[in-house]
Structure 1
Amino acid sequence: MQLIVRHLSVYHNGVAVLTNVSTYFETGEITMVIGPNGSGKSTLLKALAGLVKYEGEIILPDGYEAVDELTGYVFQNPETQIIGSTVFEDVIFGLENIGLAPTEIEKRANYVLELLELSNLRDSDPYYLSGGQKQRLAIASILALEPEFLLLDEVTAMLDKSGKREVLEAIVRLKNLNKGIVVATHELDLFSQIADRCIYIRDGRIVFDGQPADGIEMYKREMGAEFLYR
């Protein structure tokens, strides 16, 4: 399944943040989106999630009428998405809001908690989880809504080494379930371990779309000392 972007532009206070961006995303593929701060990485993900207004087209597969039916957005700070007083309540919040039957809610919640290795924490207070656990919970809560594409915005930036590993392993599991993963990140070497593809955005435009190793080499070369000491 493909999510296709054609001539996408996003403006903020009259200033272009993204300009004429055309690309696509596939289920069963991890795409890392890289670029300097302010380049438009997060804005691209937010457009794909229907969180910002845009010009151009986002072409959905047959059977979908809106991007928020197809995609799910996970923020950098998982605490901004925590709502429930327990892990289980946090996962079911969105499911209750869309009016699912209790049996379906229970089924979906149990499935994503097992998949993200959180079943043993279902009755725990989310705020006392580790950073990696909180981020996996944020992913689980979105995944329960059954999007085909997960949009992950700097989801490892606030985590320690152990938390980063937990989240990377979870992302690979989701890819193997044929989910499309789009992750905006500054952690190039970390995500190059699992990414199938790399999109490099500079000044709101795509300047590279291809193999991660080649995109990262181009980015590091262009950033030079700014990258090394950032």
Structure 2
Amino acid sequence: MIKIHAVRSGILNISSCAIKPGVCGITGPNGSGKTTFLKLLAGIFPPGTGTIHIDGKNPADCVIGWVGEYPDRNILFTRVFDELASHLRFSKKNCTDIEKIVCVCARNLGISHLLDRAVHGLSGGELVLIACGAAMIAQPDLLILDETDSHLDDEFCSHLDNIIQKSGIRYVLFSSHRPEHLAHTDKIITLENGEMQDHTSSQNTGNQGGHCHLNDPGFWKTVIAETSGRDTL
């Protein structure tokens, strides 16, 4: 369980929050504190007051995977293989194990054909997959994606969701403005002016008062479920 208690930092003021294992979506207007919230969970900086624990540990003591809105800005190496292998090399794994792990990771991501390619010149979607691979290969306790879907189409987002769901990572948190993407989460946290407005199951949102809204993740969850059901007939 991720437990947040009496946390204040910048605009954020969160009295209490508990996040179970699974995929949690973070949404809210620009400037509402989404990135600050995720950086606190990542241990990038500590809260001004209050506590954050991930399965009883401080974020700084956990393995955290981070992918931002512009993943190319955080890529360290010029070759795809070297970028995927970076965490393993920093962890001083032997070369044979690194080769095997990177090849399996690339195959799972569908980018085996890119391993010997230079990072420069790759498409935005390919860069996202590489950044996700570099974050996931570390087998993090928590994977964070900060508006990584901002420049991706729906088909690619669905592909990325499937990869993450199959990864077995205990906690995945991502911020997004896209309700159809948030519909795939187990929980949704809504921030506004630094405060938590809602912390609920995405299954329980939508159709409030008999109305469906295109900006409501619950509506999209219903659409996805109904479409999937027809596809199986």
Q: TM-score, normalised by structure 2?
A: 0.80
CA offsets 1:176-220 (integer angstroms, 9 cap, x no match):
x2432111111112221x1111111111111111122655778x9
> 2:38 aligned to 30, 34, 45, which one?
45
Report which stretch shifted further, 140-149 or 124-133: 124-133
Answering whether residue 199 of structure 2 is matched by residue 198 of structure 1, we say no
2:53·2:59 contact (CA, 8 Å) conserved in 1? Answer: no
Structure 2 distance, partners of 1:75, 1:127, is 18
Is 1:24 aligned to residue 18 of structure 2? yes
RMSD (Å) for aligned C-alpha atoms: 2.5
- Give the Cα separation in 2 of the matches to 1:46 and 1:128: 29
Partners of 1:142 and 1:126 in 2: how far apart? 16
1:111-126 equivalences under 5 Å are: 111-126=104-119
Counterpart in the other structure of 1:14: none
1:127 is matched with: 120
**Separation in 2, partners of 1:36, 1:82:** 28
8 Å contact kept, 1:156–1:167: no
Q: 2:171 aligns with which of 180, 205, 212?
A: 180
CA distance in 1, matches of 2:91, 2:143: 19
Structure 2 matches for 1:1-230, cutoff 5 A? 2-11=1-10, 17-27=11-21, 29-54=22-47, 55-61=49-55, 64=57, 66-67=59-60, 69-174=62-167, 177-192=168-183, 194-212=184-202
Q: Deviations over 1:57-87 (max 9, x none)?
A: 112325x564362322111111112222221
CA deviation string 1:144-202 (max 9, x = no partner): 1110211110011012344333323323323xx2432111111112221x111111111
Structure-2 separation of matches of 1:124 and 1:72: 23
1:185 counterpart letter in structure 2: S
Q: Which amino acid aligns with 1:19?
A: N
Give the counterpart letter for 2:73 in structure 1. T
Q: Identity rate of aligned residues, in percent?
A: 24
- Unpaired stretches in structure 2, ≥5 consecutive residues: 216-233
CA change 1:158–1:114 in 2 (3 A) is same
CA contact (8 A) 1:131 1:163 kept: no
**SS across alignment from 2:44:** coil
Residue 126 of structure 1 aligns to a residue whose secondary structure is coil
Q: Which structure 1 segments of 5+ residues have no match?
A: 12-16, 224-230
Q: Partner amino acid for 2:179?
A: L
Structure 2 distance, partners of 1:3, 1:78, is 25
- Cα deviation for residue 93 of structure 1 reads 1.7
- In structure 1, C-alpha distance between the alignment counterparts of 2:59 and 2:164, rounded to whole Å: 24
